[in-house]
Structure 1
Amino acid sequence: MINATTLKRNASGTQGGCASIDYLLAQELAREKARQVVGYYNLPAPSDGAESRFYGGLAKHLGLAEQRATKELMLPLTDGFDPKTKRALCHNAGDRGQMRVRKDKTGKPLQKDGKDVTYLAGGHRIGFDLTISAPLDISVAFALASDPAEQEAIHTAHRNAVQRAMEAFEAMSETRRNKAGKDVIGVDGLIWSSHHHYAARADEATGEMGPNLHTHNLLYNLSLGADGEEASLSAEEIFRYRKAMDEVYKTELYQGMKALGYGVDRIRELDDDGQETGRVYARIAGLGEEVTDRYGNRRKELLAYAAKHNVSNQQATLATRKDKDEPPYHELIDLWQQTLKGFDVSTESLKQAKGNAQEMEQKSPAELLERLHEMDAIFCDHNLLEVLGQEYAGSVTVPELYDLVQGFKQENNLVHVNPMRLHDDDKGDSLARRHTQERYCAPWMLQIEQEVVGFAIDRAKETHHHVPQADVDRVVEDYEKAKGFQLSKEQRNALDHITQGSGGVVNLSGLAGTGKTTISECFKAAFETQGFELLGVCVSNAAAEKLEAESGMSSVSMAQMLYDLDGGKMQFRKTDIIVLDEAGMVDARSTHRLFSHAAKSGAKVILQGDVEQLQPIGAGSGFQLTKGAVGDTKLTEIRRQGKQEDRETALAFYATDENGQIIDLKKASRSRAQTLNKGNEIKARLLDNIRETATDKEARERLLHEYFQDRAPMSEKLVIAHTRADVAALNAGIRAGLKERGELDKEEVVIEARDKGRKFNLALSKGDQIVFTAKNKDMGVINGTQAVVDNIKPSRKGGHDITVSIRSETKGDGRRLTFNSHQMKAFSHSYSGTVHKSQGQGKREVYHLANLGMLDAHSALVAFTRLTKGSYRMYATSDDVERLHERLGLERLKETVLDAGVVGQKIGAALHPMQVQSPQHQSVQRPPMQRSGIQGKLDMIVKEHREQQQAQAQMSEGERRARGLLEVFEALRRTPRPQAEPAVPVQTPLQRQGITR
């Protein structure tokens, strides 16, 4: 495992890298102390090769290569100086920043406990700690080795693997040039010092330290550029390639262990439900889990803490972490050898096990492409290195792994996609690798996107779902009379477009809180005057329940609807209107499947949502594709927030043109400067809403304190965070507060719960609020059903019988049910939730625990716009607040292949010149393709590709790619249209889920 941590100067800015260096050299200091022990040279000790040393091309350039890393040499490097000549190696060498007072948006100093809140601004960054840890089985084998020579051999295998990974990091690193840093070039060398440690943190109960062979690589913030000049390091590629380099490390490590005579197994990881996770890992053959579990003391401590306090493992890690004071090497070895005496295992016996690394069958290229496209429409070399490194774990060498990556690209007819786009204002004379390096997708991924666009354009002129003007007018008149208000001009235009001015696919873009429900009610009534039936479809069951309650249309989750459609349990009819709510969260493949079924029957599809809010989890964005094809009609008048100031803040998240009109945000449509300006604008509006703390723990504590101070009922308060760990911690904190107030029974039971293949312990008391996380047709619950625990009692059948009352904001409370905890485990606490699950909700009071690594413009927009009439509060550390503007303006729209473009063609060059007018009268172009089964076309393309391999080998690279893409388009053009299938009766969504009333 490789962890990358940015090393910052301490708050005073005066100690340089002292604290970091003292920690890294702790084992060296312990070794020096041990030298004073009588008979030291008869005690186990690491070899001289395990001393802390300097490595890298810049180390060689400075005359430090493989020299022992001492504090005297390391300190100047943390400040940006050559430790021998004291020469500055970067423009801000020696700059330790300045202490500044944090101010609110009025310029008034922020205070805490009567003192100004300060922060360290600017200064030269120390560097990065790239900690490379051996898998537990390697650490245990190291501890098992009673022969010092065998210990040294295993340690050498680890060090060699670390060096291989670090050299790979060095090879792809970059540095910037010129004042604005727009020119990016490669490096001829970096400098890092490697520091080898051996033990895990002490067990909280026993104080015992298990083996954890790991190396801290202090990568100094310095580089030797390809132009021969020294400068700071540009770290983007370090973080982008971290997971890929971990596979390089493990590949080299297990080859080293095999060279020592150890067998290696390849294991497909299973989740707690016994389902494959997709991850493959290597493990020393013959090493039983009883041995590795003995050294899982740290993990046992975490699991025990997590169970007791009902928090995630990550949160338990933070809560139980103590300062690590690693004993001398010989003491650790003695401790481990004593502990292992009770096990019938040794390094000699391990070498008798053969292992299955070479025998286990690999997944097919088609299956690996599915993994690569699980979350993104486009993948890069580092994604291939990660996926193939896992798939071939323990069975190939590093050169063979690189060959596998190249072979995969050459043998699977991949589409070559343009590099990551960069705004013109940010382009220098030379670009970063990510802006010059080709990317890839499977042919079928491009085809899916083309077909989504084709569906929308092919159906643009359909009129059989149009509603006569007189009927629309009558619906509006009745609605306005019943509600006591008039539709705005914007709302009326949207209604007219959906009911009269659109074809078989129509897009309704509504900014957060613009009242899409009002339009839904109106177009539903209008369509029903013509005998049409409306069916709602949402990303989640909870959202479907809410849509059904608000609009009156039968609604179901996207997963359930596609399952029933694909399985033939239901079919659309020509008289159906399919309403896809929160369409911006739906990936391209799901959109394609829905469109395919709708096109066969002639059903109309209305996509309503906002691409600026949360992005799809899966690959691509169907909403972005259809908007690009046939445009959209927009709702921009925000209504959810009660205060004008809050509505203006919500609007500030959106992109506007020179006239202040809302426009669609596109990839790389903002420069770096524009992103920061947008972030500063939003941050200035939010400053009064931000609760700033010194640590993450204090941020959580302050949120909980203010949550309980607020007298608003719990039903009007929304607590949201970005990670499951933070959600678990907040759930535990709210439960503790409720117990103190007597609102929960103090007695509790701990049961085993499950969520998406993850097993965890859940503390449960009478009065607890829970949410079911899976459908159970016998109980009549779905994923998202809320409930309150009324009673818990032991069951004669084992486990506990739990009685709950169903709670629904849309259908009211009341229904009671009882279930056994052994039979139904899919539920968790519901006091807090993720930002992702909050989309579509609106509450009076919003408490948002920020996480800078997860925060961007989309999640921040969703978090803020959950607010209705009360207050929004963001809780963040001072460090996070300092950089908040970088994230609030950051767009991370899901990329589509069509938007990125294919290598060798201008954007839109592969599209047909036929034009269609969108609602905004923007001309859009149609791809020369029609719809059919993907697999048949892909087989045809592959067959033609093989027949022409010899001819293509004689072409230039550019000609080959262009010809391959044209073949795809031509194949699509020749494919006949599917014929509509006979209509069958449509079941209600609840009937489709097997739930009856």
Structure 2
Amino acid sequence: MVCSIGRLYAKVEDYTQSDSYYIKGGGINQSEWYGKGATQLELSGTVKPEDYHKAYKGLDPEGKALRQQQAGKKQNPGRDITLSAPKSVALIGLVKGDRQVLLEHKAAVRTAMDYVERNCIFTRTGKGGKQRDQTDNALFAIFHHDDNRNQDPQVHSHCIAFNQTAGADGKWRSMDNRELYQQKMTIGTIYHHELGRRLKALGYELEWNRDGTFEIAGYTQQQLEVFSTRRSEIVAAVGMDASAEVKAQACTTTRKNKTYKTAEERESLEVTWQQRAEAAGIEHPQPKLRQNLEESYHHSSHPGSTAELLRSAIEVKCDRAVAFHRHALLKETLIQSQGNYSLEEIERAIDREPNLLKTKDGRMTTAQAVRRETDILQKAQVRKGGDRALATAQAAQEKAREFGLNAAQERALSHFATNQDAVMLCQGDAGVGKTYTLKALHEIVPDDRSVRGLAPSAAAAEVLQQDAGIPCQTLDAYLMSPRQSLLQNELIVVDEAGMVSSRQMQALLERLQQTNSRAILIGDTKQLSAVQAGSPFKLLQQQAGLPIVQIDLNVRQQNPQLKETVDLLAAGKIEPGYQQLQQQGNIKQIPIDSKRFQVAVNDYLTRDGKTRAKTLILVGTNAEKQIVTAQVRLGLLARGQLGVETQEITVLKRKDLSSFAIAQANNYEPGNVVKFHQDSTKFSRDLFYRVDRVDAKTQSVILRDKYGSTQTLELSKYKQREVFQAETREIRAGEQMKFTRNQYKQNQVNGQRFTVIELKDHGQIIVQTKGKTQTLKPDALLHCDYIYADTVHSSQGKTADRCIYVASSGNSPTVGRESFYVAASRARQEFIVYTASAKDLGLSVQQSRGQENALPLVVSHPSQSKSQPVASPSQPISSSIEPQPPLQDSQILVPSPTREQEFQLLVQSKYLVEEKGERNPQNSQEKIYKSADGTEIKLSGDRLRIKQGGAELEFGRDNATVKNTFSWQQMQEQIQARTAEAKQLIGLNRSRDRGRGISR
């Protein structure tokens, strides 16, 4: 784990036992005070035990209390923020012996702690501590370590954030730690990105991972694992597929006691590391400064400006949510930057991005999201009251009696028949008979009006077609159809409208206008929303001004107690509904994950076959689904309910890659399968292509088709594609499975169930689906999987007699008000819940996890009244905001030179003087480079000096700044000038190399 946050040790010796050079031998660089709080308390240099113990107790160096000490209450001394370097960094720095790498680690740690101090340090003030104030003041004690308890090289730093911070009023108070935990992943990404950026500047080539971590190129995974014995112990204890929570527990239970090493033992340990490296055949990679600089200019993994980089990150964040925290956007931007831009540059780009808008709760959304939602509202109101009715009220009443509709269903049918709007809205709770009502409607629609049904999934579309008799397809298939192929004047019925995203809704309403069609949107805003961003069905109900007809009489639950519970959940009375389930004994608490799954599966297996066939097992995640599936299959096999003969088939599991990730080589590996959505001169959409080789340097892959032909795919091109992981599945006679993709040529629909009847010779498989028997070849089952368990999300729209719900533990995003309502409302007779903590689950299910809309979140300008219309799509979003007066000279802050500027200028200047500098005839160890603008760069041993006019910048050992008299503006001019010179020099070098026949 890159960043972890936990409790700290009471004794400073616990942070030094494994680092003998802290107590013995000086070791001033192995611990340090840091932060504004340390400066304020005049704490600097090495951390002394007596100072640490005072800070631990909330005292200043004089022994005076800094924060309130409550008698009898256990004190919270602070938090230990641990940042860990990649294993390859430990090998370079400790085994190979490049100590500069260790210094860059420390610098990256400080950069991360600077961010923590600026963004994560809060305190509570006001009556009852209800107000949270940001202080920008932290007291850190940092301990830099270089091994773990298994005596493996492991570079990491413990950053102790003591529980005291000084506010703007100068008073010291306790910290509020919530922001630390919320931004933990961002803090880790900042550290990793800064470290990677610095290592690139040193000349090391990096291999970036999907999560923003990296390894130094040149080591194999097997070589890294030679020095990763702790990881091997944890995997041996809990297995490779264990959850992060279980692995974290195993990390504590399996670790050895700390050992204290003498200086001699320390030297012996380093010799042992070198011997192990030699035995593993490790050849350490060498830095290549010139080559690395050239590639950074000509082969950047993300070329362009920080603005372009940020727009790409915003696109990724907006794909799944209309609003996001600034730190989440920062994290995604850093992941995409891959060390090409500094934290300062990226934060500046975020703060200047005009497309970003602040929300009322302090998050961010985009002007594009606001415009899209505004467009949706306007399109929904077009032709309001301008269409002719579908039927008379009398015809609707007669059909309602014929179908035996209840009052709520009849009211809805009458509304559909007589309403004259282009868009009609129906809010229907779970299990109220919405589809049955649509069947009645279909029979009174006049013959000259074509009816088309749409649903988010193929399975839901098939159910609507079978139960309502309406020809159906998926919403995406309709939206991708050529405009000329669509009928005019249709009635479009959209089922599960609550699962439609904002992008889809905008496109749908556009199609309605193009074809002069009408739409009935029917769904439930209380159930799960779309995976993609936005909740337009809710937006239309709240702001479109259209009448909403409700169907709210529950007809699904046949168990009176369960019906009462589901009705409470539907009414938003989550706590009473949950308490009712508890009182009935239907919430079963089993804290240990493995045991909870085992008990739930046994509950399922001990039921008779007929009951099992009408029982759903629901889980939160696909990983949990795999655990349940494996245990159910073992149980069925032990009971002789699966065949003895086996056959392995290959299935394709789609990789969930963002628009950025799909263009990154680190997300591909040999054996992956690529499928293109469109034909091109190089690739056919009818073929599958297997990845033969991945080239991270050129960001390309070699693809091979079934005929053996190969093609090179530049990952930045042909991005309308999907990437699959090829996996194997063991199948036996009796297996319950489903298709996972629409394959219309083979009459396969996503979600369609089938049973394996028999395994024949030559790999043929006999299956039964939709009451018919088919003989299939293995390649017809590329898109299928077991169906012994469902995720809650995929279960929406399904019904079963009984339901067993294994709720995710912890604060999982898969557990919330909407998912719990969906899970509970699937069952007719029985709903059983297995959870790690009944109390925690009871709190989680009261939180909404549904998609949001941007419009209600945007902070309105004070001059804008609630009745004013929002900006139109053609009107810039900024037009509704009054321009602010320009800043006066006294209000403009002139920034001081930053360490970031110094570091950029150092890298460029060192390259120039090393490549083009001339030897000083009076000192052969000194090189001097003189620029046309009068700048002189002098390199002498570890010291680098840059002079222009009367300004001077000097670096000493370890690239530390000794002196800087340049202004911020002068630094910017220097960076631009030296960068331009470096680019020109690189171009000359490359031309010269080509002339000599040298390739780079």
TM-score w.r.t. the length of structure 1 is 0.71
Equivalents in 1 of 2:194, 2:329: separation in Å? 17
Report the CA distance between 1:380 and its aligned residue. Answer: 4.3
Change in Cα spacing, 1:225 to 1:290, as seen in structure 2 (3 Å) is same
- The count of residues paired between Structure 1 and Structure 2 equals 795
Report the CA distance between 1:90 and its aligned residue. Answer: 4.6
The match for 2:756 among 769, 789, 792 is 789
Residue 474 of structure 1 corresponds to which residue in structure 2? 398
Residue 834 of structure 1 corresponds to which residue in structure 2? 791
CA deviation map 1:7-54 (0-9, x unaligned): 6xxxxxxxxx77xx79x976733446999xxxx98xxxx955335x66
Report the CA distance between 1:216 and its aligned residue. Answer: 4.5
Q: RCO (CA 8 Å, sep 6+): is it higher in 1 or 2?
A: 1
When the two chains are superposed, the root-mean-square deviation of aligned CA atoms in Å is: 4.2
| Paired letter, 1:765 | I
Residue 284 of structure 2 corresponds to which residue in structure 1? 346
Report the CA distance between 1:197 and its aligned residue. Answer: 5.3
| Paired letter, 2:255 | K
The match for 2:204 among 263, 279, 285 is 263
Aligned ranges 1:122-271 → 2 under 5 Å:
128=79, 130-142=81-93, 145-147=95-97, 150=98, 152-172=99-119, 173-194=121-142, 196=144, 212-219=154-161, 222-259=164-201, 261-265=202-206
Residue 617 of structure 1 corresponds to which residue in structure 2? 531
| Paired letter, 2:199 | M
Q: Is the 8 A contact 2:457 2:474 kept in 1?
A: yes
The match for 1:848 among 800, 805, 813 is 805
What SS is found at the alignment partner of 2:89?
Answer: helix
Q: Is the 8 A contact 1:247 1:385 kept in 2?
A: no
Q: Is the 8 A contact 2:5 2:184 kept in 1?
A: no
Q: Is the 8 A contact 2:108 2:192 kept in 1?
A: yes
Equivalents in 1 of 2:432, 2:70: separation in Å? 48
Residue 971 of structure 2 corresponds to which residue in structure 1? none
Change in Cα spacing, 1:901 to 1:85, as seen in structure 2 (3 Å) is same
Equivalents in 2 of 1:305, 1:816: separation in Å? 44
What SS is found at the alignment partner of 1:354?
Answer: helix
Aligned ranges 1:533-932 → 2 under 5 Å:
533-564=450-481, 567-568=482-483, 570-574=485-489, 576-627=490-541, 628-629=543-544, 630-654=546-570, 680-687=575-582, 688-711=585-608, 713-745=611-643, 753-757=651-655, 759=725, 761-766=727-732, 767-791=734-758, 801=763, 803-807=765-769, 812-820=770-778, 824-851=781-808, 852-853=810-811, 854=813, 855-870=815-830, 872-878=831-837, 881-904=838-861, 911-912=868-869, 929=872
Report the CA distance between 1:385 and its aligned residue. Answer: 1.7
Equivalents in 2 of 1:30, 1:304: separation in Å? 25
| Paired letter, 1:635 | I
Residue 935 of structure 2 corresponds to which residue in structure 1? none
> Unpaired runs of 5+ in structure 2?
656-723, 889-1000
Change in Cα spacing, 1:89 to 1:762, as seen in structure 2 (3 Å) is farther
Q: Is the 8 A contact 1:91 1:231 kept in 2?
A: no
Equivalents in 1 of 2:230, 2:748: separation in Å? 38
Q: Name whichever of 153-162 and 292-301 sits farther off.
A: 292-301
Residue 274 of structure 2 corresponds to which residue in structure 1? 337
What SS is found at the alignment partner of 2:129?
Answer: coil
| Paired letter, 1:414 | N
Change in Cα spacing, 1:320 to 1:928, as seen in structure 2 (3 Å) is closer
Equivalents in 1 of 2:166, 2:567: separation in Å? 45
Report the CA distance between 1:220 and its aligned residue. Answer: 5.1
Q: Is the 8 A contact 1:127 1:221 kept in 2?
A: yes
Identity %: 21
What SS is found at the alignment partner of 1:869?
Answer: strand
Equivalents in 2 of 1:746, 1:464: separation in Å? 63
What SS is found at the alignment partner of 1:513?
Answer: coil
Report the CA distance between 1:453 and its aligned residue. Answer: 0.4
Change in Cα spacing, 1:334 to 1:886, as seen in structure 2 (3 Å) is farther
Equivalents in 2 of 1:142, 1:284: separation in Å? 11
CA deviation map 1:877-917 (0-9, x unaligned): 23xx33334322222442222212354267775854xxxxx
Equivalents in 2 of 1:517, 1:357: separation in Å? 58
| Paired letter, 1:643 | N
Report the CA distance between 1:470 and its aligned residue. Answer: 3.0
Residue 386 of structure 1 corresponds to which residue in structure 2? 331
Change in Cα spacing, 1:282 to 1:63, as seen in structure 2 (3 Å) is same
Equivalents in 2 of 1:793, 1:834: separation in Å? 32
| Paired letter, 2:742 | K
Q: Is the 8 A contact 2:37 2:139 kept in 1?
A: yes
CA deviation map 1:228-261 (0-9, x unaligned): 44444333432443343333212321233245x2
Report the CA distance between 1:869 and its aligned residue. Answer: 0.9
Change in Cα spacing, 1:645 to 1:198, as seen in structure 2 (3 Å) is farther
What SS is found at the alignment partner of 2:557?
Answer: coil
| Paired letter, 1:648 | E
Change in Cα spacing, 1:64 to 1:345, as seen in structure 2 (3 Å) is same
Report the CA distance between 1:952 and its aligned residue. Answer: 7.0
Aligned ranges 1:43-192 → 2 under 5 Å:
47-51=27-31, 55-58=34-37, 68=47, 85=63, 87=65, 89-90=67-68, 95-96=73-74, 128=79, 130-142=81-93, 145-147=95-97, 150=98, 152-172=99-119, 173-192=121-140
> Unpaired runs of 5+ in structure 1?
8-16, 97-123, 203-208, 270-276, 421-433, 481-486, 657-677, 796-800, 913-926, 931-936, 958-997
Q: Is the 8 A contact 2:205 2:287 kept in 1?
A: no
Q: Is the 8 A contact 2:649 2:778 kept in 1?
A: no
| Paired letter, 2:828 | T
Report the CA distance between 1:506 and its aligned residue. Answer: 1.1
Aligned ranges 1:424-435 → 2 under 5 Å:
434=362
Q: Is the 8 A contact 2:601 2:632 kept in 1?
A: yes
| Paired letter, 1:134 | A
Q: Is the 8 A contact 1:621 1:894 kept in 2?
A: yes
Change in Cα spacing, 1:570 to 1:399, as seen in structure 2 (3 Å) is same
Report the CA distance between 1:286 and its aligned residue. Answer: 5.3
Aligned ranges 1:410-429 → 2 under 5 Å:
413-414=354-355, 416-420=357-361
Residue 672 of structure 1 corresponds to which residue in structure 2? none
Greater Rg by CA: 2
Equivalents in 2 of 1:300, 1:578: separation in Å? 57
Report the CA distance between 1:218 and its aligned residue. Answer: 5.0
| Paired letter, 2:122 | E
Equivalents in 2 of 1:300, 1:554: separation in Å? 55
What SS is found at the alignment partner of 1:815?
Answer: strand
Q: Is the 8 A contact 1:310 1:729 kept in 2?
A: no
CA deviation map 1:677-716 (0-9, x unaligned): x664344223232111232233223222322233463222
Equivalents in 1 of 2:91, 2:156: separation in Å? 12
Question: Is residue 447 from structure 1 mapped to residue 371 from structure 2 by the alignment?
Answer: yes
Report the CA distance between 1:395 and its aligned residue. Answer: 1.6
What SS is found at the alignment partner of 1:840?
Answer: coil
Report the CA distance between 1:302 and its aligned residue. Answer: 9.3
